[in-house]
Structure 1
Amino acid sequence: MKVLVIPEDPTLDQYILKPIAEALFRDLGRKARIDVLQDPHLSGVDEALSQKVLADIVTENPMVDLFLVMVDRDCNRMKNVECAAEREAEHPRRLVACLAVEEVEVWMLALHREELSGRWPEVRSDCDPKERYAEPFLREKGWLTEVGKGRKHAMRELPTRWSSLLSVCPELAELRDRLQSLLAASSS
């Protein structure tokens, strides 16, 4: 199965999203080739949830079995939840969206929540956790000069903390369940 992850910006997000997508399919017991969209290079959630942009991506990638849109919820300031649902409806069984509460960096931070300056519920509910928690955490660890400004290094904990991640980021557990249902329906 070929899966294309569509981020709002692959520059840094790819180092969080690809390992998570790989873990999802491993958890589901499904072999999948996971790629993160690089071309076109999207810059922002408005592009990643654009009806035209996503339609073009789906059309230009006929060999992809599943498009996985993984973007920030951003406190739903731009109605990302509604836009994501509309895009899914336009590409049934081919496109699934998962909105990170509130940014994809929170998924990375979940792997290190015992080391964070704030309490986990505060981190989860903050509308700008990248600036308030992720960047200071990566700076404190000395990882900002590494690949993906430290995101790749921070994600090394994922294999041993996968179940924990699902328990504290329910949107990922919901995504896993939705994918399981989708894959079961397509194989029957």
Structure 2
Amino acid sequence: MRIAILLEDYRLDQYIVKSVIEKLARFINLKINYRIIMTPMVTGIDSMSSTENLQEICRRYGPMSDIILIIHDRDGRQDRDRLAESIRTRVGTCNDKFKVIAAHQEIEVWGLAGVSDLPKEWNWQDIRQEQSAKEIYFESYIKLHSMDNTAGKGRYGISKNISYKRLRDLCPEIIQMEEIIKSHAG
């Protein structure tokens, strides 16, 4: 299985996503060769979903990928759930390869979901519903555990501690990602 992965900001998000993809592959017992898309450089949802960038990604990564997985932050916006529909209407030749996953609310929440030592006063549903979960919870957790000097502003540090079972139990979009990948394998 060959997957190209497009992130809103690969410089930060890649650390958590790489860990999740590797653990997902072990969980579903599938060999996954993946690459994080670095060119064209996208920064944010508008750049990620621009027709020009999507067509370039299709041209560049489509022939060498079984799927192109777009993982973006939902950021509390319902309209972001419709990103997949919007992309399919604009990319033409490889629109069937583009698969979209919305992290609820942010990819950093996946990091928090995967660790078992969150402060006792934090409520998981509050974290999951908070539109600014990265700023309020993730950054606090990283500082609390002295991970802020690790790569990706702490994302590498937390990625090493992610329990896939816990992540899967707390974030239904992870199961959706598993299903997408399994449905396109071999």
Question: Is TM-score (shorter-chain normalized) higher than 0.5?
Answer: yes
CA contact (8 A) 1:49 1:84 kept: no
What are the residue-to-residue correspondences of 1:54-93 with 2, within 5 Å?
54-61=54-61, 62-76=63-77, 79-88=79-88, 90=91, 91-93=94-96
Q: What SS does the aligned partner of 1:157 have?
A: coil
* Higher helix fraction (1 or 2): 1
What are the residue-to-residue correspondences of 1:57-136 with 2, within 5 Å?
57-61=57-61, 62-76=63-77, 79-88=79-88, 90=91, 91-112=94-115, 114-116=117-119, 117-136=121-140
Following TM superposition, by how much is the alpha carbon of 1:93 offset from its aligned partner in structure 2, in angstroms?
3.8
What are the residue-to-residue correspondences of 1:31-46 with 2, within 5 Å?
31-46=31-46
What are the residue-to-residue correspondences of 1:148-187 with 2, within 5 Å?
148-158=152-162, 161-183=163-185, 187=186
State the distance in 1 between where 2:180 and 2:139 align.
31
Following TM superposition, by how much is the alpha carbon of 1:114 offset from its aligned partner in structure 2, in angstroms?
4.0
CA RMSD for the aligned pairs? 1.8
State the distance in 2 between where 1:162 and 1:137 align.
18
Choose 102-111 or 173-182, whichever is displaced more: 173-182
Please report the TM-score for the alignment, with normalisation by the length of structure 2. Answer: 0.89
CA contact (8 A) 1:8 1:45 kept: yes
1:48 maps to 48
**Paired amino acid for 2:152:** G
CA contact (8 A) 1:68 1:96 kept: yes
Choose 87-96 or 57-66, whichever is displaced more: 87-96
2:12 maps to 12
**Paired amino acid for 1:97:** V
Q: Confirm or deny that 1:29 pairs with 2:33.
A: no
Please report the TM-score for the alignment, with normalisation by the length of structure 1. Answer: 0.88
Q: What SS does the aligned partner of 1:148 have?
A: coil
- How many residue pairs align between the two structures? 181
Seen in structure 2, the aligned counterparts of structure 1 residues 21 and 93 have a Cα distance that, compared at 3 Å, is farther
| Identity, % of aligned positions | 27
**Paired amino acid for 2:144:** E
Q: What SS does the aligned partner of 1:26 have?
A: helix
Which segments of 5 or more consecutive residues in structure 2 lack a partner in the other structure?
A: none
Q: Deviations over 1:47-96 (max 9, x none)?
A: 1122331121011122122211111011126x211122332465444121
